[in-house]
Structure 1
Amino acid sequence: MTRKSSFITVEVMKRLEVRELEYFLAVADTLHFGQAAERLGIAPPPLSRAIAQLERRLGRPLFKRTSRRVELTAAGQILEVEARAVLRSLDRAILRTRQAGQPVLRIATPPGTGAGLLRDLVRGYVTTFGGGSVELVFTREQTSAVRDGRADVALICSSDDLSGLDAQTVTTERPVALVPSDHPLAGRTAVTPADLLRDRAYRAELPPVGLDALVDLVATGQLIAVIGDSAVDRLGHHVVAVPVTGLPATEVLLAWPADAHDTRVADLLDLIELPQRRPA
């Protein structure tokens, strides 16, 4: 019996261009070819031809087009997610390449970080590597700043998303309630969450403000809040920090990209006495 040879035809598709992904995402964002073309600074016909060419190359329709509306197909929804990830990775690669060899270590930290911890980290690094060797990036999106390359390392809470990051514990914060100095709870040695819930000024979720504004809100009687005890030394005379029982302590971590291999981050970690690291 004669066996016929099996042939497998492999179609090698030319690698997509960044411009094509940007055109596609402009339409995906607006679901309107005219608006997308205006955003891109081109005429609608070339944009339509570019999308049609992209669809032919992929062998799948990316948009459902009618006279009234434009919608993403199932294939288009998948490409939207993947294209955004590709462009983010490319932006990060470009930023890291431009910053390669720079002596300055950029630390992302939220406004109002406890002065003691931040002071020790920065002063320890500057003492070892000289003035101008550290730059602080103040943001409430520390992990995003590290992931997109705006910062090299970040101070975060252990509850933050650590995907794609390595981390090391630098301190543990115990919860304290901030109350006005003339508040009935100010003289207590400790309070419970139940004590706080009975006060109408208590907010379990902190407002999106810095520590100074937070202290002002508490001092004026508009807020009672729970924070970590590292910030106690910045409260002033009109706000009291009372330990809270029944709430867990919070670990403060240094986090950096797992694939960074940055010697500056390694130098900072060498200055920290707690060597236990957390993998991504």
Structure 2
Amino acid sequence: METRELRYFIALAEELHFGRAAQRLGITQPPLSRAISQLERRLGVTLLERSSRSVTLTEAGAVLLREGRAALDAVDAADRRTRRAALAGTGEADLVLVTKAGASGELLAKLLDAYAAEPGAATVDVILCGIAEQERLLRDGRADVALLHRPYDSTVGFDTEELCTEGQVALLPSGHFLTGRANLRMADVAALPGLPMPRWPGRNGTYPDGPGPQVRDHTQLYQLIALGRTCTVLPESCRVSLRPDITAVPVLDAPPVTTVIAWPPHSRSRALAGLVRAATRL
């Protein structure tokens, strides 16, 4: 398969409309139709069911959509990492570190200060991203290193070092009747009337079904908690950035959260190795 054919197919599989997919790709419909038909002939399968009114994915098409996205991500990552490796050889490349906005703020500040004090330390560009985005940025080559949080983030395929493990707290609007409790359990949080848990976007950017509000970042989350529209459970370190109108209560049976520093296993960057050493010393 050619990467061009994969890009055409993925655009059509996501749009499920030849006109919109062609417009997104910047081409006309005939070459798109020819490319998809050629891809189906080469694979010997039907990827899309077409009618005069709709386009739907077959089971084989759904598999190619999933695998094709991963393949193109790998191609794009190889492109970015190759270019960054060339820059590293000239001493012009910075390190790109990605982490969730609002998470591990105190740890991140200490890490950046500790690494900056190292002789010959590279410049570290920090990307603060939304929920579930930092893992993708590291996998597709847009970041060199990431702070991830198990069990919420997958570290499969990365080299990692554990930095800290902490408990979790429930975040409630100040004045809520449960804020006077010394601790809670997950069942208490899940059963709160009028405070459904928020819905975060998944890896495909879509939200799961449910009564809770859609949330993209911690700023939006904190505003909704303060307004009495939602509650949530976060690592205990979030206390340092809490607003005065939000109260944290320990949750005894919430799974512990382990913060790790993660990087691609094939990396040979000396600057990255220095950053990891600084992190583990902390």
User: If the TM-score is normalised by the length of the shorter chain, which range does it land in?
Assistant: 0.7 to 0.9
**1:88 counterpart residue number:** 73
- Alpha-carbon distance, 1:188 to partner: 4.2
- Say if 1:62 and 1:128 are closer, same or farther in 2 by CA, change over 3 A: same
**Structure 2 unaligned residues grouped into runs of 5+:** 200-212
- Say if 1:30 and 1:122 are closer, same or farther in 2 by CA, change over 3 A: same
**2:207 counterpart residue number:** none
Say what the alpha-carbon RMSD is for the aligned residues. Answer: 3.5
- Say if 1:237 and 1:25 are closer, same or farther in 2 by CA, change over 3 A: closer
SS of the aligned residue for 1:247 comes to: coil
SS of the aligned residue for 1:93 comes to: helix
- Say if 1:198 and 1:128 are closer, same or farther in 2 by CA, change over 3 A: same
- Alpha-carbon distance, 1:189 to partner: 3.7
- Alpha-carbon distance, 1:238 to partner: 3.9
Provide the C-alpha distance between the structure 2 equivalents of 1:174 and 1:168, rounded to a whole number of angstroms. 19
SS of the aligned residue for 1:271 comes to: helix
SS of the aligned residue for 1:108 comes to: strand
CA contact (8 A) 2:99 2:134 kept: yes
Tell me which of 144, 157, 170 is aligned to 1:177: 170
- Say if 1:114 and 1:18 are closer, same or farther in 2 by CA, change over 3 A: closer
Provide, for residues 219-258 of structure 1, a one-character-per-residue CA deviation record: whole Å limited to 9, x for no partner. Answer: 4444443221212122254433332323332111122223
2:274 is aligned with what amino acid?
D
Provide the C-alpha distance between the structure 1 equivalents of 2:140 and 2:192, rounded to a whole number of angstroms. 41
Answer with 106-115 or 23-32: which moved more.
23-32
Aligned length: 260
**1:147 counterpart residue number:** 139
TM-score (norm 1): 0.73
**1:120 counterpart residue number:** 110
**Structure 1 unaligned residues grouped into runs of 5+:** 1-15, 276-280
CA contact (8 A) 2:77 2:140 kept: yes
Answer with 216-225 or 56-65: which moved more.
56-65
CA contact (8 A) 1:104 1:133 kept: yes
- Alpha-carbon distance, 1:23 to partner: 3.6
TM-score (norm 2): 0.73
CA contact (8 A) 2:102 2:241 kept: no
Tell me which of 255, 267, 270 is aligned to 1:263: 270
Provide the C-alpha distance between the structure 2 equivalents of 1:35 and 1:189, rounded to a whole number of angstroms. 55
Instruction: Tell me which structure has the larger Cα radius of gyration.
Output: 1
CA contact (8 A) 2:165 2:258 kept: yes
Tell me which of 156, 163, 168 is aligned to 2:148: 156
Instruction: State percent identity of aligned pairs.
Output: 41
Provide the C-alpha distance between the structure 1 equivalents of 2:190 and 2:14, rounded to a whole number of angstroms. 43
- Say if 1:62 and 1:125 are closer, same or farther in 2 by CA, change over 3 A: same
Q: Are residue 247 (structure 1) and residue 254 (structure 2) matched?
A: yes
**2:234 counterpart residue number:** 227
**2:202 counterpart residue number:** none
- Alpha-carbon distance, 1:66 to partner: 6.3
- Say if 1:153 and 1:201 are closer, same or farther in 2 by CA, change over 3 A: farther
1:149 is aligned with what amino acid?
G
Answer with 96-105 or 109-118: which moved more.
96-105
- Say if 1:240 and 1:86 are closer, same or farther in 2 by CA, change over 3 A: closer
- Alpha-carbon distance, 1:161 to partner: 1.9
- Say if 1:168 and 1:69 are closer, same or farther in 2 by CA, change over 3 A: same
- Say if 1:55 and 1:274 are closer, same or farther in 2 by CA, change over 3 A: same
Provide, for residues 12-39 of structure 1, a one-character-per-residue CA deviation record: whole Å limited to 9, x for no partner. Answer: xxxx443333344444445555554444
- Say if 1:28 and 1:223 are closer, same or farther in 2 by CA, change over 3 A: closer
Provide the C-alpha distance between the structure 2 equivalents of 1:105 and 1:195, rounded to a whole number of angstroms. 43
